């Protein structure tokens, strides 16, 4: 964990982090439940966590990098909104426990983690997942292939989790180029009440 954490700490230290929520989430605000607990998975410097906290959710952000967690805490303090941060290596540590009303995973790909996330949705809870696909390499060298979904893979992932848990409902499975020139795959799932 130490080397992965230190390399992400370096990246967070070197790069300016976006403070606005991704269009993927902002454009789907109408899909948010009325309130409850929210989980921002590998949430980085907290742009989505703060956005959700401003909308009244009780947010937990989990990330491996303490530099990111410190930035997220500073952003929440400035907002000001409450925020719980958890340092964890999601490749081996468990997800924060709970029945969440909202789960966001944006720009973090671990297929095992993605598959496990729907189990943490409470009744009526919504999962928002978004990741670039391999076609993104046609225009951008990063993220590298390790972080990219295959073309069409999002549909397969959705089918696997819905087949395993019939209480899950697919709200959206799409992929394509965004206005910002990114090729991304998007998945929105809801747990029936
Ligand atoms: C590209 S950033 C995305 C951050 C945020 N989700 C966003 O969209 O702004 C990827 C994040 O994943 C975190 N991360 C990478 N590997 C991780 C791991 N094994 N466990 C937990 N977090 C990890 C990094 O620290 C970083 O904050």
Q: How far is the CA of 71 from the centre of ligand 1 (A)?
A: 13
Mean pLDDT, residues 3-17: 92
Calpha distance 143→21 (Å, rounded): 18
Q: Is 46 in the pocket of ligand 1 (CB under 6 A)?
A: no
Longest CA–CA separation in the chain, Å: 44
CA quadruple 63, 130, 138, 182: dihedral positive or negative? negative
Q: Is 8 in the pocket of ligand 1 (CB under 6 A)?
A: yes
pLDDT given for residue 185 in this prediction: 98
Mean pLDDT, residues 32-60: 98
Q: How far is the CA of 165 from the centre of ligand 1 (A)?
A: 27
Q: Is 108 in the pocket of ligand 1 (CB under 6 A)?
A: yes
Q: Number of folded domains in the chain?
A: 1
Q: Is 148 in the pocket of ligand 1 (CB under 6 A)?
A: no
> In CATH, what number is assigned to the domain containing residue 165?
3.40.50.150
The number of residues in the chain equals 193
pLDDT given for residue 124 in this prediction: 98
Mean pLDDT of the chain: 97
Name the percent of the chain lying above pLDDT 90.
Answer: 96
Q: Is 71 in the pocket of ligand 1 (CB under 6 A)?
A: no
pLDDT given for residue 44 in this prediction: 98
Mean pLDDT, residues 121-128: 98
Mean pLDDT, residues 125-147: 97
Q: How far is the CA of 58 from the centre of ligand 1 (A)?
A: 20
Domain of 35 in residue numbering reads as 2-191
pLDDT given for residue 33 in this prediction: 98
Q: Is 49 in the pocket of ligand 1 (CB under 6 A)?
A: no
Q: How far is the CA of 14 from the centre of ligand 1 (A)?
A: 15
Give tens-digit pLDDT for 168-192.
999 999 999 999 999 999 999 999 9
Residue 1 has pLDDT above 90, yes or no: no
pLDDT given for residue 64 in this prediction: 98
pLDDT given for residue 16 in this prediction: 79
pLDDT given for residue 18 in this prediction: 87
* Strand extents, DSSP E, the chain: 37-41, 58-63, 84-87, 100-106, 121-132, 168-177, 183-191
pLDDT given for residue 17 in this prediction: 80
């Amino acid at each position: 964990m130490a080397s992965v954490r230190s390399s992400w700490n370096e990246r967070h230290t070197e790069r300016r982090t976006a403070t606005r929520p991704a269009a993927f989430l902002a454009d789907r605000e109408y899909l948010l439940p009325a309130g409850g607990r929210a989980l921002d998975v590998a949430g980085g410097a907290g742009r989505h966590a703060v956005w959700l906290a401003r909308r009244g959710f009780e947010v937990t952000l989990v990330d491996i990098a303490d530099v990111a967690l410190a930035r997220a805490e500073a952003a929440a303090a400035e907002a000001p909104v409450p925020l719980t941060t958890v340092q964890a290596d999601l490749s081996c540590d468990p997800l924060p426990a709970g029945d969440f009303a909202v789960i966001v995973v944006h720009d973090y790909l671990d297929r095992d983690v993605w598959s496990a996330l729907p189990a943490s949705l409470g009744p009526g809870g919504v999962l928002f997942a978004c990741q670039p696909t391999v076609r993104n390499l046609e225009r951008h060298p990063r993220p590298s292939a390790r972080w990219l979904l295959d073309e069409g893979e999002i549909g397969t992932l959705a089918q696997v989790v819905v087949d395993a848990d019939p209480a899950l409902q697919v709200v959206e499975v799409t992929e394509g180029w965004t206005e910002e020139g990114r090729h991304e795959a998007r998945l929105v799932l809801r747990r029936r009440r």
